[in-house]
Amino acid sequence: MQCVVTGGNVKVLAKAIHSLSRIGDELYVEPQEDGVSCFDAVRNTSTSSYHHVYIFAYFLFASTNGADLNASLSCTIKVDSQSVFRSLATLEKTVEKCHIELNEQKDRLTFTLHCKHGLLKTHNLSYQDSESLQAVFNKDTCTNEFRAQPRVLVDTVAHFPPSLEEVTVTVSDERMWVRNHVEDETGNTTRSKAMLTELCLASDEFDHFVVKTPNSVTFCLKEFRGLLVFAESSNLPVSMYFDEPGSPVVLSVTDGVLEGNFVLATLSDDPITSLFFLFPFWTFWSTLRAHAPPSPPPDDFMNDDMDSYLIAMDTSVASGPSTAGPSASTLTDPCTSKLPEANHRTRTHSEEEEEEMEDGSERPPNKKFRSLFFGSVFPPSPKMSTQPVTTQEVLASDSEDES
Amino acid sequence: MKFRGKIVDVACLNHFTRVVTTISKLTKTCVLRLNPDNLFFVLSGKVANGGVSMWCELSQANFFDEYQMEGVSPENNEICLELAPENLSRALKTVQNAKSVKVKLTKKHCPCLTVCAELPTLSSSSRVVTHDVPVDVIPKRLWHEFKEPSVPDFDVSIYLPPLKTIKNVVDRMKNLSNFLVIEANMNGEMNLKIETDLVSVTTYFKDLGNPPWGDGASQDGGPTQSRDPDSMAEARVDVRKLQQFLVGQQVNPSKSMCNIVHQSVLHLILLHEDVSLQYFIPAVA
């Protein structure tokens, strides 16, 4: 496989790889007939996501005599591919083109950066062969769809602390509420000390706002931020698709030459673990919390009356929130006690899977991967992942019987 | 018990945010006292804080366009809350460009100070952000712990050199020793000293000026009046506590001074137009 990326496209490629390498360690690269796929999927115990970058061929070799893409090849590279495209600012000024070559005999993926003044930087990355993987998701069947300028979303997430893990998005016909998600781990004391932030966006702030099933989903904010950085720097509108808690939320970014999709896991309503993710061999037992049925929070403030609380406090020995307060917040969680068990189950399960995997031959031992989806905007080829794929090459033996 | 305040002016919001941010750098939790005229951020000197105490007074009329409160009872028309100022500071920092900001005492899953802001947007409707900062209500029987501290019977009172200068000096000195001696006299001279086995470093400040407390203010009038103007009063303090005080200062005060009670306590006072901050650092032997 060989291809060349020239000019400003090098910066776009670098930004894409940066967003891919945000959390994970490995990058899967798979050349296809009309471009190159880069994937990365992350799975940790509480959230999971799957991102795929599809760098369309057009983007890759604009002015040279074509790329030679050996479509049957796919490999995994241990990313520190970020080190190849280290500083985005200097990249723009110094790199004229980037030549990517896969050398099968030597097991090397070579990035050669042709810079100004005749300087040539060559990075040799080693890789491992792997099976191709694709996530199954379908944006077209999602019932809720939104599209907004990145600035709106960036301003929204700016209200949340950088350390916040998860965020809950609730939608109704006209509004979207974005709230920080507080895990109720040890009971009242932890919950009551956490600061809650909520932002309400009106539908007219979005370019496109369609809600067919009003509900709430909770997903990882960090990954969302990663995508927003990319979208904002390229000034591309961000689209969001989701159905219901438990099914993934898909965030996508489209340009003339590339399309990126982030598929993020959401917390499930079902106290019994639900198969969130679409790899049949990969059963996710995502964090378990039952949500109270989503009710959009009222616009006015809740009960301001402190008197009943004070009376309760003065007369009782223990101080604690009075039960007279409203409980419209969705933090009430009847199934909290299941949480520690669930996490345990997640880990045990993944360990089992990893053992199974190692029995097979030449499988990448490290199961954590993240992928950024950038699909092609051209008519979908059979390999495109925007359609449900009924047969897939799987990475490990089918463990569906365990679900 | 009710509290509702609204800030509309951008400059007031900015100023209030900076005050809260300064407080958040000084301490992790503090007590907010509200009465019809003022707000106070109080840290009482307990062993847990290392004996450091703080009193910050704001006049509500200078910040809030609307301010309504109802205290615990008509005779005790005050509200006393314990909170983490960092949460409040974070909430306020994100709404700096708001059209209006309301701060209310509410009861959600626990008592909260809710900051509700309307943000301007390109579209017709505005975006509403709500931050709920959890607070603990302090019962009346504990209010005596959070009273305004009285000015100590100081030996020397002197204006401070520019805070930035002191901060630079203290930052360097922190690397050499854990304890720093501040001494000053009624002749406008102040020295910052550290002494270790290997080295001793002293920084001298002159012509600082001494605030005229007047007969009424300086207790008994006696000690400072009859004091030899050149004789130094000193206090040996933990340098990290002093540094923590200096690091948080975001606004240049119109007046800054310190009172030293010889080998007992260092009392720092910063005065702005509408905010006053007092900070007590106990001296160590």
> What is the token pair recorded at A291?
């949500």
* pLDDT recorded at residue A214: 85
* pLDDT recorded at residue A34: 59
Nearest CB among A161, A191, A204 relative to B90 is that of: A161
* pLDDT recorded at residue B5: 92
Write down the pTM of the prediction. 0.69
* pLDDT recorded at residue A32: 61
Least confident range from A163-177, A286-300, B112-126, B242-256: namely: A286-300
Q: Which of A78-82, A392-396, B140-144 has the highest mean pLDDT?
A: B140-144
Least confident range from A235-239, A264-268, B30-34: namely: A264-268
Half-sphere exposure at residue A301, Cβ-oriented, CA atoms within 13 angstroms: 24
Distance CA A367, CA B274 (A): 59
Average pLDDT estimate for A25-42 = 62
Instruction: Sort out which chain A residues have CB atoms less than 8 A from B134's CB and list them.
Output: 192-195
Distance CA B274, CA B128 (A): 29
Start-to-end Cα distance in chain A: 39
Distance CA B70, CA B92 (A): 23
Of B104, B87, B97, residue with least CA distance to B28: B87
* Of residues A187 and A153, more confidently modeled: A153
Please report the number of interchain residue pairs, chain A to chain B, with beta-carbon separation below 8 angstroms: 106
pLDDT at residue A308 is higher than 60? no
The string of DSSP letters for B14-46 reads: HHHHHHHHHHHHH-S-EEEEE-SSEEEEEE---
> What is the token pair recorded at A300?
């006015």
Nearest CB among A197, A301, A310 relative to B131 is that of: A197
Distance CA A98, CA B163 (A): 52
Contact across the interface for A306 and B2, Cβ inside 8 Å: yes
The model's confidence at residue A35, banded by pLDDT at 50, 70 and 90, is: low
B85/chain A closest Cα distance in angstroms: 11
Distance CA A50, CA B256 (A): 56
* pLDDT recorded at residue A40: 62
Least confident range from A60-64, A241-245, B209-213: namely: A60-64
Residue B98 in contact with residue B118, Cβ under 8 Å?
yes
DSSP annotation of A131 reads -
Distance CA A234, CA A177 (A): 26
- H/E segment holding residue B9: none
* pLDDT recorded at residue A26: 64
**Which domains does chain B possess?**
2-146 (3.70.10.10), 156-282 (3.70.10.10)
Distance CA B131, CA A195 (A): 7
pLDDT at residue B191 is higher than 80? yes
Nearest CB among B94, B106, B137 relative to A158 is that of: B94
Best of A196, A208, A209, A333 to disrupt the B interface (most B CBs within 10 Å) is: A196
Q: Which of A139-143, A192-196, A279-283, B72-76 has the highest mean pLDDT?
A: B72-76
> What is the token pair recorded at A44?
């940790």
Distance CA A356, CA A361 (A): 11
Least confident range from A312-321, B67-76, B166-175: namely: A312-321
Distance CA B255, CA B211 (A): 10
pLDDT at residue A3 is higher than 50? yes
Contact across the interface for B130 and A161, Cβ inside 8 Å: no
* pLDDT recorded at residue A251: 82
pLDDT at residue A269 is higher than 90? no
Average pLDDT estimate for A216-232 = 81
Nearest CB among A158, A204, A322 relative to B124 is that of: A204
Number of H helices, E strands in chain A: 8, 17
pLDDT at residue A289 is higher than 70? no
Q: Which residues contact B199 (CB under 8 A, 6 or more apart)?
A: B176
Contact across the interface for B2 and A331, Cβ inside 8 Å: no
The model's confidence at residue A400, banded by pLDDT at 50, 70 and 90, is: low
* pLDDT recorded at residue B75: 86
Distance CA B94, CA B101 (A): 11
pLDDT at residue A83 is higher than 50? yes
The model's confidence at residue A223, banded by pLDDT at 50, 70 and 90, is: confident
